[in-house]
Structure 1
Amino acid sequence: MTELSESIDLQPITSQPPNHDLDVSSQPVIPGYSELPTVPSQVTDYLPLSLCTMLYCCLPIGIFAVLYSIRVREANLVGDQTRAQRASRIACVLNVLAGIFGVIITLATVLPKIFCGFEHSNC
Structure 2
Amino acid sequence: MSNQQPSQQPYGMSNQQPNQQPYGMSNKQPNQQQPLSKDQEQPEEPGIFTVEPAGQNQKSGPVNDYFGYSIFTMVCCCLPMGIVALINAIDTRKANASGDGEKAKKSSRRARIMSHGALGTGIGIYVLIAIIVLIVQFV
Same structural fold, with TM-score higher than 0.5 when normalized by the shorter chain: yes
Shift of the alpha carbon at 1:91? 0.3
Q: Which has the higher helix share?
A: 1
Q: Which residue of 1 aligns with 2:118?
A: 98
Could you tell me how far apart the structure 1 residues matched to 2:100 and 2:120 are? 30
Quick one: which amino acid aligns to residue 62 of structure 1?
A: G
Shift of the alpha carbon at 1:72? 0.4
> TM-score scaled to structure 2, two decimals?
0.55
The one of 92, 95, 107 equivalent to 1:87 is 107
Shift of the alpha carbon at 1:39? 7.5
Q: Which has the larger radius of gyration?
A: 2
Quick one: which amino acid aligns to residue 68 of structure 2?
A: P
Could you tell me how far apart the structure 2 residues matched to 1:73 and 1:106 are? 31
Could you tell me how far apart the structure 1 residues matched to 2:108 and 2:83 are? 14
> TM-score scaled to structure 1, two decimals?
0.62
1:23-76: CA deviations, max 9, x gaps? xx7xxxxxxxxxxxx975110000000000000000001001000000000000
Could you tell me how far apart the structure 1 residues matched to 2:135 and 2:84 are? 35
Matched, 1:55 2:83: no
Shift of the alpha carbon at 1:105? 0.7
The one of 69, 76, 89 equivalent to 2:89 is 69
Which ranges in structure 1 are unaligned for 5 or more consecutive residues?
Answer: 1-24, 26-37
Structure number with the bigger relative contact order (C-alpha 8 A, sep ≥ 6) is 1
Q: How does 1:1-123 map to 2 (within 5 A)?
A: 40-117=60-137
Shift of the alpha carbon at 1:115? 4.0
Could you tell me how far apart the structure 2 residues matched to 1:72 and 1:39 are? 17
Does structure 2 conserve the Cα–Cα contact (< 8 Å) formed by 1:65 and 1:91?
yes
Q: How many residues matched?
A: 87
Could you tell me how far apart the structure 1 residues matched to 2:97 and 2:60 are? 10
Taking only aligned residues, the RMSD between alpha carbons, in angstroms, comes to 2.4
Could you tell me how far apart the structure 2 residues matched to 1:92 and 1:56 are? 16
Does structure 2 conserve the Cα–Cα contact (< 8 Å) formed by 1:40 and 1:79?
no
Could you tell me how far apart the structure 2 residues matched to 1:39 and 1:104 are? 40
Identity of aligned residues (%): 31
